[in-house]
Amino acid sequence: MQAAAIQYFTREDYFAFEETSEEKHEFFRGEIFAMPSGTFNHSSILGNVLEMLNEKSKGKPFQVTNNQLKIETPKGLITYPDAAVFCGKPELTSNQCALLNPVVIIEVLSPSTRRYDQSDKFLLYRSIETFKDYILIDSEKIHVQHFRKTEQLEWILHEYFDLKDEIYLNSIQENLSLLEIYENIVF
């Protein structure tokens, strides 16, 4: 019995494929992977986060992107984070389809993506030189993980479980409130 051949794609193949696809896909090492859709809580939490960050960005030297803009890492991952923040001017791929210089990346965790977002994806994100704050928001309970890069290039984890907690993002000098992140969320 002969094993099925795996088809590999170029980066350009992926971008062409993604232009016509109705669903989102991730690209890594020549392979294209379908990205799962989110739950109601996932979508609501993301809406809260984007609203909060957009309000905080007014008149500030940073901008917020949503899950419609891809990020490309130096290690070759091209994916759609739930949200990202960049400072100054956006550095984009030549086709203007992926951001190269995020300082903050936010992922809302779902049961199907939790392990990946906390491990392999985070490892690939860390290859981005400008990347300084990684926020993982649980969609099934009140729990936020904040990984912060230090001046010594170490990543420090802070965890939050209380709606009274606030997360300070040094990269943009702003706080994120758990009360606002989880506003109107029912578990």
pLDDT score at 38: 84
The domain segmentation of the chain, as residue ranges, is 38-181
Helix (H) or strand (E) holding 43: helix 40-57
* Predicted model pTM: 0.94
Q: Are 170 and 132 in contact (CB under 8 A)?
A: yes
Q: Are 133 and 170 in contact (CB under 8 A)?
A: yes
Angle ∠(106,66,178) on CA atoms, nearest 5: 45
For residue 46, what are the contacts with CB-CB under 8 A and spacing of at least 6?
A: 38, 66, 67, 82, 83, 108
Length of the chain counted residue by residue: 187
Q: Are 133 and 147 in contact (CB under 8 A)?
A: yes
pLDDT score at 22: 92
pLDDT score at 7: 82
CATH class of 38-181: alpha beta
Rounded Cα distance, 74 and 86, in Å: 16
| Terminal-to-terminal C-alpha distance of the chain | 49
Rounded Cα distance, 137 and 101, in Å: 22
Q: Are 81 and 106 in contact (CB under 8 A)?
A: yes
> In the 3-class helix/strand/coil scheme, how is 113-177 assigned residue by residue?
CHHHHHCHHHHHHCCCCCCCEEEEEECCCCCEEEEEECCCCCEEEEEECCCCCEEEECCCCEEEE
pLDDT string in tens for the chain (187-residue length): 455 557 889 999 999 999 999 999 999 999 999 998 889 999 999 999 999 999 999 999 999 999 999 999 999 999 999 999 999 999 999 999 999 999 999 999 998 889 999 999 999 999 999 999 999 999 999 999 999 999 999 999 999 999 999 999 999 999 999 999 999 999 9
